[in-house]
Structure 1
Amino acid sequence: MNWSAVRAIYVHEMMRFFRTIWQSIASPVLSTVLYFVVFGAAIGGRIQTIEGVAYGAFIVPGLMMLTLLQQSVSNASFGIYFPKFSGTIYEYLVAPAGWIEVTAGFVGAAASKAMLIAVIILLTSFWFNGVHIAHPFWMLAFLILTAVSFSLLGFIIGLWAKNFEQLQIVPMMVITPLTFLGGAFYSASMLPPFWEAVAKLNPVLYLVSGFRWSFFGLADVPVGTSLIAVTIMLVVCLAAIRWIFATGWRLRE
């Protein structure tokens, strides 16, 4: 393991993030504040509690997960796409670093950025709601596993994309809708039986459910199932990236 290569890529990506820190942090935080105002205040005035939890506090894990997924995918996909776009990807391919080092550097930086923004959103939520974290260790575990898994997915998207339009398709047309339909703002138990069964086909529901359980002890699906789901995603993404680097698919075009 070439830790110097991992550190060089990681530091480079984080420096790029901090050069535009105002834009990188202010935009998602402002969007989340609007969600708190619209959903927490407006809808929360009509829905007082869900399973004994104030609605304004109930949506905090969902909002954090929404931002975490979007930022993880976007940061990782843009991070690896720009070297492809500029042609500097070949410097990574001929450097004394394997696919593990390159992936760890880019994915580690993307996950760090996403988790930083998620933590800032959590701190922001204290201005609006009294949020209590019942299981801090598992909250952190779900945060890290989800950030890393979706950063790996974003890394794959960045390798696959041939232009900026393709780079935006999955985050905008897949990730965001699945998160909204994955119980970010409601509990799946509130749905009629048929639609609850349909909702459980959404993989994002398992992430949101596990993350919400770490806050309030409430879950739409068993916590163990949520952990298995995110672990499977992580393993599948790692296998896909290893195959891409082994075959050179979309790397040497």
Structure 2
Amino acid sequence: MNYYAIRVIYKHEMRRAFETVAQSFASPILTTVLYFVVFGSAIGSRIESVGGVSYGSFIVPGLMMLAILTQSLSNASFGIFFPKFTGAIYELLSAPVSFVEILIGYVGAAATKSLIIGLVILGTAGFFVPIEIAHPFWMLTFLVLTCISFSLFGFIIGLWATDFEKLQLIPLLVVTPLVFLGGTFYSIDMLPEAWQTVTLFNPVVYLISGFRWSFFEIADVSVAVSIGMILGFLIVCLGIVWWMFRTGYRLKQ
């Protein structure tokens, strides 16, 4: 394992994030705070509690997931797409570095940035509403697994995309709607029975449900199923990345 190569890629990506603090950290945090203020005030005035938890506190895990998913995708996809766009990817591919080391460097940096954003949002939310974490270990487990798995997904998007328009296609048209319809601001128990069944086909529901359980011990679906879904997604993403590097898909063109 070439740890030096991993460290170089990781430090380069993290340096780029801290050189653009406003875009990398301040913007998603400010956006989440605005979501929190608007939804917490507008809807919270009509819904006192959900499952025995005040509405303001209830939406905190969902808002964290919203920020983590979008930032993991954007950080990882842009991180690998930009070297492709400039042609620097060929220097990386010709270096004595395996795809595993490239993957760890880029995905590790993207996951780290998303993890930092998630924890900062959690700390910021504490200024607005009281927050209690029933299962800190499982909260961190869900947080880390989500950051890694969606950074992997973003890495795949970055390899697949051939221009900046495609780079934003899946995050904007697929992932963001799934997050908003996945129980970010509500419990699926509040929906009509038919829509509850439809919602269960949304994979994001399982992520948010499991993450919310780690806070308040309330969940829309089984926690074991939530963990299984995210682990399954992680394995599928690893398999796709392995195939893309093995075949040179969108890398050697």
Q: TM-score, normalised to structure 2's length?
A: 0.99
SS of alignment partner, residue 251 of structure 2: coil
Aligned position for 1:70: 70
- What 5-or-longer segments of structure 1 have no aligned partner? none
Aligned position for 1:128: 128
User: Following the alignment from structure 1 to structure 2, what is the Cα–Cα distance between the partners of residues 23 and 74?
Assistant: 11
How much does 1:214 deviate? 0.4
How much does 1:245 deviate? 0.4
What amino acid sits opposite 2:250 in the alignment?
R
Aligned position for 1:235: 235
User: Following the alignment from structure 1 to structure 2, what is the Cα–Cα distance between the partners of residues 131 and 170?
Assistant: 33
Q: Deviations over 1:153-173 (max 9, x none)?
A: 000000000000000011111
| Aligned ranges 1:95-174 → 2 under 5 Å | 95-174=95-174
Aligned position for 2:50: 50
How much does 1:4 deviate? 1.2
The list of structure 1 runs, each at least 4 consecutive aligned residues, that deviate by more than 6 angstroms after superposition, is none
User: Following the alignment from structure 1 to structure 2, what is the Cα–Cα distance between the partners of residues 26 and 175?
Assistant: 22
What amino acid sits opposite 2:144 in the alignment?
I
Aligned position for 2:208: 208
User: Following the alignment from structure 2 to structure 1, what is the Cα–Cα distance between the partners of residues 165 and 22?
Assistant: 25
User: Following the alignment from structure 2 to structure 1, what is the Cα–Cα distance between the partners of residues 25 and 240?
Assistant: 30
- What 5-or-longer segments of structure 2 have no aligned partner? none
Aligned position for 1:181: 181
SS of alignment partner, residue 171 of structure 1: helix
Q: Deviations over 1:74-96 (max 9, x none)?
A: 00000000000000001111111
How much does 1:11 deviate? 0.5
Q: Deviations over 1:138-161 (max 9, x none)?
A: 000000000000000000000000
Aligned position for 2:41: 41
User: Following the alignment from structure 1 to structure 2, what is the Cα–Cα distance between the partners of residues 172 and 22?
Assistant: 21
Comparing 90-99 with 161-170, greater Cα deviation is found at 90-99
Q: Deviations over 1:176-219 (max 9, x none)?
A: 10000000000011111111011010000000000000000011
1:30 aligns with 2:41: no
Aligned position for 1:11: 11
Comparing 66-75 with 184-193, greater Cα deviation is found at 184-193
1:225 aligns with 2:229: no
User: Following the alignment from structure 2 to structure 1, what is the Cα–Cα distance between the partners of residues 69 and 27?
Assistant: 15
Aligned position for 2:198: 198
What amino acid sits opposite 2:236 in the alignment?
V
What amino acid sits opposite 2:27 in the alignment?
S
What amino acid sits opposite 1:64 in the alignment?
M
RMSD across aligned positions (CA): 0.6
How much does 1:136 deviate? 0.3
SS of alignment partner, residue 142 of structure 1: helix
What amino acid sits opposite 2:68 in the alignment?
L
User: Following the alignment from structure 1 to structure 2, what is the Cα–Cα distance between the partners of residues 135 and 51?
Assistant: 17
What amino acid sits opposite 2:77 in the alignment?
S
How much does 1:23 deviate? 2.4
SS of alignment partner, residue 128 of structure 1: coil
User: Following the alignment from structure 1 to structure 2, what is the Cα–Cα distance between the partners of residues 92 and 230?
Assistant: 30
How much does 1:22 deviate? 2.4
Q: Number of paired residues? A: 253
How much does 1:37 deviate? 1.1
How much does 1:2 deviate? 1.3
1:84 aligns with 2:84: yes
How much does 1:3 deviate? 1.2
User: Following the alignment from structure 2 to structure 1, what is the Cα–Cα distance between the partners of residues 22 and 202?
Assistant: 33
User: Following the alignment from structure 1 to structure 2, what is the Cα–Cα distance between the partners of residues 186 and 95?
Assistant: 49
